Homo-oligomer: A and B are copies of this chain.
Amino acid sequence: MAGYDALPLTVLTEQFAKLPGIGMKSAARLAYHVMSMPPEEVSTFANALLEARTKVHYCQCCENLTDQDLCPICSDESRNASVICVVETPKDISAFERTGEYKGVYHVLHGLISPMRNILPDDLKIRSLVARVQSGTIQEVIMATNPTVEGDATAAYLSQLLKPLNVKVTRLAFGLPVGGQLEYADEITLYKALENRNLM
Binding site for B on A (CB under 8 A): 1-9, 11-12, 14-15, 18-21, 26, 28-35, 37, 39, 41-56, 65-68, 71-73, 89-91, 93-94, 97-98
Contact = CB atoms under 8 A, between A and B. Distances in A.
Contact of A94 (B2, B20, B93): B2
A88 to B, nearest CB: 12
Nearest to A50: B46
A5 B97 CA distance: 11
Contacts of A35: 52-53, 56, 65
A6 B66 contact: yes
Contacts of A12: 48-49, 51-52
A40 to B, nearest CB: 10
B42 A89 contact: no
18 contacts: A1-B94, A4-B72, A4-B73, A4-B93, A5-B90, A5-B94, A6-B52, A6-B71, A8-B55, A9-B56, A9-B65, A12-B49, A18-B41, A20-B30, A21-B26, A21-B29, A46-B46, A46-B47
**Helix, strand, loop or mixed for chain A's interface?**
helix
B30 A53 contact: no
A56 B51 CA distance: 25
Contacts of A47: 46
